């Protein structure tokens, strides 16, 4: 949760193509998923996002970014937290068909907080 009870801070590791689409949105929304991507996976802690961006995105595209953004907490309560590894490996699974609605609940801009090459 953020300092207030109204938003939750999320992170998203991303590559350059997805980040360019976020930039084109005015840093306000995530692009639609590709046909082979039925789920959008924001993560709940910065360390996990760094690990993915540094170890996976850099290997696959030469650069990896970590973004931070806030979403209305009440809206996020519909998505259970998924533990997909160790204690801090936590994600939300947002079905691709719900991403437009998810984007409408983002509060403020999506920010790049780390870059790895």
For the stretch 10-57, pLDDT in tens is: 999 999 999 999 999 999 999 999 999 999 999 999 999 999 999 999
> Residue 2 — pLDDT band, cuts 50, 70, 90?
very low
pLDDT mean over 94-101: 98
Residue 1 forms part of a structural domain: no
Residue 71 forms part of a structural domain: yes
Report pLDDT for 3. 46
pLDDT mean over 88-108: 96
The boundaries of the domain holding residue 112 are 7-28+39-116
pLDDT at 101 > cutoff 70: yes
Residue 2 forms part of a structural domain: no
CATH number of 18's domain: 3.20.170
Residue 60 forms part of a structural domain: yes
Report pLDDT for 88. 84
Number of folded domains in the chain? 1
Strands (E), 36-105: 39-40, 64-72, 81-83, 90-92, 94-95
* pTM of the model as a whole: 0.91
Residue 87 forms part of a structural domain: yes
pLDDT mean over 84-103: 94
The three-point CA angle 84-86-91 to 5° equals: 35
| SS3 of residue 16 by DSSP | helix
Residue 22 forms part of a structural domain: yes
pLDDT at 5 > cutoff 70: no
Residue 64 forms part of a structural domain: yes
**Could you tell me the two tokens for 113?**
């907080």
Residue 21 forms part of a structural domain: yes
Q: What is the pLDDT of residues 102-112, one digit of tens each?
A: 999 999 999 99
**Could you tell me the two tokens for 67?**
């973004």
Burial 34-63 (b: 16+ CB within 10 A, else e): eeeeeebebbbebebbbbbbbeebbeeeee
């Amino acid at each position: 949760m953020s300092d207030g009870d109204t938003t939750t801070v999320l992170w998203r590791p991303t590559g350059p193509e997805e980040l360019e689409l976020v930039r084109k949105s005015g840093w306000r929304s995530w692009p639609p998923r590709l046909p082979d991507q039925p789920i959008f996976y924001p993560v709940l802690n910065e360390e996990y996002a760094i690990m993915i961006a540094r170890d996976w995105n850099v290997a696959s595209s030469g650069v990896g970014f970590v973004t931070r953004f806030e979403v209305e907490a009440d809206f996020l309560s519909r998505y259970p937290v998924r533990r997909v590894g160790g204690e801090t490996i936590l994600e939300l699974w947002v079905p691709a068909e719900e991403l437009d609605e998810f984007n409408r609940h983002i509060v403020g801009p999506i920010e790049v907080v780390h870059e790895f090459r």
